[in-house]
């Protein structure tokens, strides 16, 4: 053969090129649901190295990809067809955006020539999702596919992570090209802290008499947990956490005073209100954490560390803002002395004073005690995924977490229906972990169809379902702030959830008495394959404490002032 003979690259379809580009970026799992315009991509999936999980609703696919991204810190991938398939992904995209989760979303789209004609199943998903993605692409050429996919993963995973959308017209997916795949894009260059800002922050910590750190979700996102723990040990500064920051410090760590905010621990909220220096690490002054913002930490100077410059001084003016990767910033802050022992003792005193009590104030099963007992009895490697409502707050308050990736919860968006698909994504990402979905009777109905996904793929997820026959958190607010005018919160016509689980082929058990709890927890953990434990609780049980709307965090309600419970 003549050595100068050139062999032209083989023609491949846009769909084949897409699948190969995903594989080059390390993708192994995809969550999705097929349909008309995305069908050529599903055709190319056959025989590829990718494992596709058919969720039973596109929202379930997006939320599973969200949890996969949280656990692995690599972009979860979900895929759906155009029109309703794409719009059903929107809640999951918004959820990932609010919680800074890396995700790549692939949507089918009608052929280029039909766009703008109101074609069958055409929606402008590019325009619909603009406020809730880091970046969006509409693929216009088969030759652009490798570059777009590489950039999408680089953007989704770099800096402050988030979702990136790739809208894929059908004519592009079927078009042919000899384009050669290119190597994945290099990670974005790390952003390092300003030396002067580090020096100023170090001096401020040295001079503070009552310093406090708020640990946020950015610490887990940036894989900075160990560096943060070293910082806490080196400085001795007391630490509180946001909902997403739980687990950054072990629950039983001496310097950890608990979760702050609307349903936070009294020790954390009092420490915040009395500190004279507040160092906020990877958190964003969310309203559920701060309460009345103008009265939040009123005497404190602020040091704010975040990878996203837009968060610095957005809600609370920072005396020092450090825009950087968190690990080098934490390593660079070196106060001359440890925190004031008297202040640390005061925080420890509050921690003892406001310690949770488990002498149940109810006759039936007391959800906080059950969760505390389950958390202490769990096997190594327990991961809890949460739905949204009273049970979500009880999990945050009463379960023990050794690492923030053990606690998967919808923070910023508060998405009911998150727990079950999130458990699927978490278990697939970390198959060796024991994954428990804690849900409520309202939330479980939002994505209950994903029980079929558990059964089909043999995914061993445990479900702890609290049933109070109500939308509990809404009912609690109506009780306290709307004169007990209960509007559309009655769920007393719930189905028999054990029977529903059995119909899906999932093992189930129901309990309603405190003496049944211990054996039921053992059953849940020791049952082979997926299982559901249905727990009946009092419809009038409330989450305490509670910071009323418009009040500062230290003005917590600890019980109903009228009914005392």
CB 394: neighbour CB atoms within 10 A?
A: 25
> Sorting pLDDT into bands at 50, 70 and 90, what band is 179?
confident
Phi, psi (rounded to 5 degrees) for 241: -135, 150
- The pLDDT score that the predictor gives to residue 562 is 55
Q: What is the DSSP string of 298-319?
A: TT-EEEEEES-GGGTTSSS--S
296-310: per-residue pLDDT in tens? 999 999 999 999 999
Measure the CA–CA gap between 560 and 558, rounded to whole angstroms.
Answer: 7
> Sorting pLDDT into bands at 50, 70 and 90, what band is 2?
low
> Sorting pLDDT into bands at 50, 70 and 90, what band is 5?
low
- The pLDDT score that the predictor gives to residue 1 is 46
Find out whether 544 and 453 touch, Cβ atoms under 8 Å.
Answer: no
Q: Looking at mean pLDDT, say which of 204-218, 283-297, 366-380 comes out highest.
A: 204-218
Q: Can you tell me the mean pLDDT for 271-288?
A: 96
- The pLDDT score that the predictor gives to residue 46 is 96
Q: Can you tell me the mean pLDDT for 204-229?
A: 97
Examine the pLDDT at 561 and tell me if it is beyond 80: no
- The pLDDT score that the predictor gives to residue 64 is 98
174-to-42, 46, 135, 536 alpha-carbon distances in Å: 12, 15, 24, 53
Mention the CATH class of domain 195-353.
Answer: alpha beta
CATH code reported for the domain at 12-177: 3.40.50.970
Burial code (b: 16+ CB inside 10 Å, e: under 16) for 457-474 equals: eebbbbbbbbbbbbbbbb
Find out whether 25 and 189 touch, Cβ atoms under 8 Å.
Answer: no
- The pLDDT score that the predictor gives to residue 379 is 63
Examine the pLDDT at 186 and tell me if it is beyond 90: no
Closest C-alpha to 467, from 425, 436, 527, 509: 509
Q: Looking at mean pLDDT, say which of 7-11, 392-396, 555-559 comes out highest.
A: 392-396
Q: Tell me if residue 252 falls in helix, strand or coil.
A: coil
CB 485: neighbour CB atoms within 10 A?
A: 8
299-338: per-residue pLDDT in tens? 999 999 999 999 999 999 999 999 999 999 999 999 999 9
Q: Which one of 3.40.50.970, 3.10.20.30, 3.40.50.300, 3.20.20.70 gives the CATH number of domain 367-536?
A: 3.40.50.970
For helices 266-274 and 341-353, angle between their N-to-C axes, nearest 10 degrees: 150
- The pLDDT score that the predictor gives to residue 359 is 85
Q: Can you tell me the mean pLDDT for 65-94?
A: 98
> Sorting pLDDT into bands at 50, 70 and 90, what band is 223?
very high
Tokens (6 digits) for 434 = 């024991």
CB 230: neighbour CB atoms within 10 A?
A: 14
50-to-46, 222, 559 alpha-carbon distances in Å: 9, 26, 52
Closest C-alpha to 149, from 63, 22, 305: 22
Examine the pLDDT at 565 and tell me if it is beyond 60: no
Phi, psi (rounded to 5 degrees) for 19: -60, -45
Find out whether 119 and 237 touch, Cβ atoms under 8 Å.
Answer: no
Find out whether 107 and 85 touch, Cβ atoms under 8 Å.
Answer: yes
CB 488: neighbour CB atoms within 10 A?
A: 9
Domain-wise residue ranges, the chain = 12-177, 195-353, 367-536
Phi, psi (rounded to 5 degrees) for 318: -90, 135
- The pLDDT score that the predictor gives to residue 354 is 94
Q: What percent of the chain lies above the pLDDT cut of 90?
A: 91
Phi, psi (rounded to 5 degrees) for 186: -65, 150
Examine the pLDDT at 108 and tell me if it is beyond 60: yes
Q: Do domains 12-177 and 195-353 have the same CATH topology?
A: yes
Strands (E), 223-286: 239-241, 256-259, 277-281
Measure the CA–CA gap between 75 and 163, rounded to whole angstroms.
Answer: 8
Q: What is the mean pLDDT of the chain?
A: 94
| Bridge partner residues of 387 (DSSP) | none
């Amino acid at each position: 053969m003549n050595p100068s003979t050139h062999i032209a690259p083989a023609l491949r379809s846009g769909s084949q090129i897409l699948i190969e580009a995903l594989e080059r970026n390390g993708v192994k799992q995809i969550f999705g649901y097929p349909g008309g315009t995305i069908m050529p991509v599903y055709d190319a999936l056959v025989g590829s190295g990718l494992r596709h999980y058919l969720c039973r609703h596109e929202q379930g696919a997006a939320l599973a990809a969200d949890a996969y991204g949280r656990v692995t810190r690599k972009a979860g991938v979900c895929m759906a067809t155009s029109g309703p398939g794409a719009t059903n992904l929107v809640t999951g995209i918004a959820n990932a955006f609010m919680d800074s989760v890396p995700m790549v979303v692939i949507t089918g789209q009608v052929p280029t020539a039909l766009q703008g004609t109101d074609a069958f199943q055409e929606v402008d998903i590019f325009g619909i999702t603009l406020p809730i993605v880091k970046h969006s692409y509409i693929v216009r050429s088969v030759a652009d596919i490798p570059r777009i996919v590489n950039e999408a993963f680089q953007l989704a995973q770099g800096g402050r992570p988030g979702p990136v959308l790739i809208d894929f017209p059908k004519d592009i997916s079927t078009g042919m090209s000899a384009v050669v795949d290119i190597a994945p894009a290099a990670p974005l260059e790390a952003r390092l802290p300003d030396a002067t800002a580090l020096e100023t922050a170090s001096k401020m910590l040295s001079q503070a008499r009552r310093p406090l750190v708020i640990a946020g979700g950015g610490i887990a996102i940036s894989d900075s947990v160990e560096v943060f723990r070293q910082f806490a040990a080196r400085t001795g500064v007391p630490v509180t956490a946001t909902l997403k920051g739980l687990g950054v410090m072990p629950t039983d760590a001496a310097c950890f005073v608990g979760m702050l905010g609307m349903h936070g621990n009294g020790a954390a909220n009092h420490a915040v209100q009395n500190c004279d220096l507040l160092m906020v690490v990877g958190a964003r002054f969310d309203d559920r954490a701060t309460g009345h913002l103008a009265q939040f930490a009123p005497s404190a100077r602020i040091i704010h560390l975040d990878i996203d410059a837009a968060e610095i001084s957005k809600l609370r003016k920072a005396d020092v803002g450090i825009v950087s990767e968190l690990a080098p910033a934490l390593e660079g802050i070196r106060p001359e002395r440890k925190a004031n022992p008297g202040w640390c003792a005061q925080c420890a005193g509050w921690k003892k004073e406001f310690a949770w009590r488990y002498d149940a104030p109810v006759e039936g099963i007391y959800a906080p005690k059950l969760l505390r007992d389950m958390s202490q009895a769990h096997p190594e490697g327990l991961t809890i995924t949460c739905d949204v409502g009273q049970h979500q707050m009880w999990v945050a308050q009463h379960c023990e977490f050794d690492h923030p990736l053990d606690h998967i919860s919808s923070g910023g968006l508060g998405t009911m229906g998150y727990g079950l698909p999130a458990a699927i994504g978490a278990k697939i990402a970390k198959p060796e972990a024991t994954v428990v979905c804690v849900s409520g009777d309202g939330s479980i109905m939002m994505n209950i169809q994903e029980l079929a996904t558990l059964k089909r793929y043999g995914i061993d997820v445990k479900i702890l379902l609290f049933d109070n026959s109500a939308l509990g958190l809404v009912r609690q607010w109506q009780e306290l702030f709307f004169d007990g005018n209960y509007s559309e919160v009655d769920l007393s016509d719930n189905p028999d959830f054990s029977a529903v689980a059995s119909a899906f082929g999932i093992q189930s058990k129901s309990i309603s008495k405190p003496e049944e709890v211990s054996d039921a927890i053992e059953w849940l953990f020791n049952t082979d394959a997926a299982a559901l434990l249905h727990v009946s609780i009092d419809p009038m049980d409330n989450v305490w404490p509670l910071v009323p709307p418009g009040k500062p965090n230290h003005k917590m309600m600890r019980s109903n002032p009228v009914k005392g419970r």
